[in-house]
Amino acid sequence: MRYIKKGKEPVFFTEAKKNIDKNCGDPWLYSKSISNVSKDLRIHIAKEQNNCCAYCEEHINAENKEDCDIDHFRKRNIFKSLDDILDYNNLFVSCKNQDHCSNYKDKHMNI
């Protein structure tokens, strides 16, 4: 994984977080305000990463959800608070390779 200099959280994500129902469970899964901005957020984060996977540095097409995902570096099932789940500095874009990157991390590592 290479160093990624995170920029300021985009305003559209900050605004979406304000509309989250605090009782919805995992807002990444159940909040319409987050799902409504997920594509824009994926594109924004990918641009910070020069359209490369945060882990393997392969080129990704953030416009295509089949090509990449937003990854929570600190996994949502371990870091469960809303502040952790919605922390912009914890969000990266990763390719969908099943043998490495975020898919591998989520299955085999406890970080």
The position carrying tokens 């914890």 is 90
Question: What's the pLDDT at 48?
Answer: 95
HEC string for the chain? CCCCCCCCCCHHHHHHHHCCCCCCCCHHHHCHHHHCCHHHHHHHHHHHCCCECCCCCCECCCCCCCCEEEEECCCCCCCCCHHHHCCHHHEEEEECCCCCHHHHHHHHCCC
What does the pLDDT look like over 38-79, one tens digit per residue? Answer: 899 999 999 999 999 998 999 999 888 888 889 888 887 777
Question: In degrees rounded to 5, what are phi and psi of residue 37?
Answer: -115, 5
What does the pLDDT look like over 10-33, one tens digit per residue? Answer: 999 999 988 887 776 666 665 677
pLDDT at 106 over 70: no
